[in-house]
Structure 1
Amino acid sequence: MRDILIVGAGQAGLQLSLSLKAAGYRVTLMAAKTPGEIRDGWPTSTQAMFDPALETERAYGLNHYDLVAPPIRGLHVMLAAPPGNLALQFTAPLGKPAFSTDQRIKFSRWLTDAEQAGVEVIYQPVSPAYLEALTKQYDLTVVAAGRGDLVELFERDPERSPYEQPQRGLAVAYVHGLAPDPSWPEPHVEFHAIPGLGELFVIPTLTRTGPADILFWEVLPGGPLDVFGEDEDHLQTSLNLIKENLPWFHERCADVRLADDKATLQGRFTPTVRKPIAHLTGGGKALGIGDIVIANDPITGQGANTAAKAAHHYLRAIVEHGDKPFDEEWMTATFESFWQAHGRAVTLWTNGMLQPLPPHAQQILGAASANPAVAARFAHGFEDPNDLLSWFADPAAADAYLRSL
């Protein structure tokens, strides 16, 4: 039986730990926080997981919240131009519902599951020096910690990382009391775009205080919407921006309140793809997974989805490798095959969405407002971003697709 160390207890690290244990491996998981600390702490992200990623969880019985979280039926896209006026909108149903579960309750439950399944869970932060010592004790070390000192061990890949600074300021509030969308009362993700200024996403979710909604601003750094500060009333700042820029949505916010006393998050980071192997000073090597190697902006809602697909991909690669050594050649091949299968499409699409939409993409959104088939295919791209590369991302392909309708 092979011994595998996983450092980091987020989507990728926890899912890989639990699935490897189920496959018969000895697994040690290093987690910086206990289940209680995660559950009672601050949120670290937003999330909306689509069916293909959810299937990788269901395969190992990790879908604890499918029957209680609001089923996300699709997307409602709205374009403000200029701010304060609704210029374009369309609804885009999903073939199968997506779900969002506050990762504070999801990951705390998964950590408990891991302990009960026999994963050796060690609650301790890992420094680069400690990681060096740990790698000598295991057949394979996988780093899934997307924040902290370990990130610097993975070299930035300049060919896959076009940005050198944050492209959005991020501000999140989990709230109760939002009135349903009268045009589509079923739970769905709302995408309010304010060209040149930013975006507001509204995501139905489940928190420890029950069903809720996430108000998630992505604002251009230094722009008029970039007004969130640590000393400000986060929710009131968000509602003020909504009132000024999205008055049709503000009408539904009269009873909005925070879901709990730690229900906000703000920050910014530079979208970055890193090379998959950390070469440690003593000669050890570690393989990266999740945000530590592919950290995309959350504008396309793909972070948790990509991490789940990566955990599934790495699991299969480990099992198929049998008793052979997990050498650098295998590590590189495992990441590159995931990049080609999933990571590349997500990264290209996400980086493109951070820029002003080109004319062909604007034409597609215009067509989606009049043609349900176009809207449905756009929604499908969130389930499988590879499909977007075949029509949404290429002007010639987009033109051919629109002509074929």
Structure 2
Amino acid sequence: MKTVYDKGKLVRKYRKEHNWTQGKLAKEVDTSASTICKLELGKYIPPENLMANIQKVLHIKELAHQEYYPLITQLTSWQQSIIQRNYATASKYYNELKKFPITYFYNQRGLLSLCNFQHALIFYRPDVASKYLEDVKKHADTLSPVNTYPYIKAIGLYYLLLDHLNDAFTYFNDATQINPDMFEKDGEIHLYYALAYDKIGQNLDATSHASTALSIFQSKLNQPNILLSRIIKIKNALYRYKQPIQEIIQELHSILDNYTSIHKNYIYYVLGIAYLQNSDFESALKYSKKAMHHEKSPSVKVIYIFFIAYIYALLEDVKMALTIIEGGNSINKGKKYEYYFYLLKGIIQGTHGSEVYRQKISEEIIPYFQMKGNLLEENYCHAILGKVYYCMGFYKEAANHFYIYPGNSYISELLSKYPQK
């Protein structure tokens, strides 16, 4: 522990290195010049908050808490484990570092906020990440373009997980423009682009970015991200019909058998999609239920719940479908799946031909999806309205919606099972 005299000498040394007078330093830390003078002479014991402010403005590394430098090393290691999606190690650092007050981190508070923010995001907890969002944005605004890159990219991921895709693409594009050289060799941002394009149904772009991410991660032997990139490629292959379904199913089972991964719930979900495309409803339900039961993140769990409700709807098990929908609504916190459940429930109950249902889609749901950039969901709404108006004999209205999106087999099959009442 340094004596008051030692601290005073350090303050004097760093003040002179900054070419500051005692009065200038006093003004910066909201005290008097005489207080600084007495401190430098070792004749004054400063309160902790004053000493912290002096350390901050003069960047006096020797006056940091004795734990400071080991903590900064841990903080840097924590960020690396987050980037590599080494979930166990990231959680270990999180639990160790959260014991210390923020004052121990001094000029690394921006990095601390970023790590807390990123840590919540890799565990698909945007609700937790939201607590750090404003602080991350604030720090991003104060950094150089090179240093702000990871902050901007992380904010993009935050909006991606919330399905605010317009905002997500804006931040990803900003990060790309800020540091194009970093973008080329950054597997993470290609992975995020792949997920974003997957969400709007642009499978070619999703596959392209997933392939780039996979190549980068393979060169770095980053196994968790290699697996996630592979799964995204496989999922998009399902929609492009470029690979036999049985081959895709076998590949997914091979991943489950050979790797222990946090992505297993996502793999179960993709397996459910694959089995559904193969008309194996029993297996589709089996694996989608596995995904739901093991998933801890409410924002992800609700995706799996909706898919299960949709399968029961295809099986014309109305009671189970409505029960699952009610369960989904009870844990759902976002507008997107509130609308998803509303759309599906209306179809199952045969009320999708009602004026209330049609008006809600046109005046509330479609504008919301447009605002958030949810292109795929917007298209689904047009497909539903097109089919509804066609069945009602309103062919002009139907044509207007089909012109925007002609529909797909999933919506057509569902609507064919539930005539309008």
Classify the TM-score, shorter chain. Answer: under 0.3
Structure richer in helix, relative to its length = 2
Structure having greater relative contact order (Cα 8 Å, sep ≥ 6): 1
- Could you tell me the TM-score, scaled by structure 2's length? 0.24
Structure richer in strand, relative to its length = 1
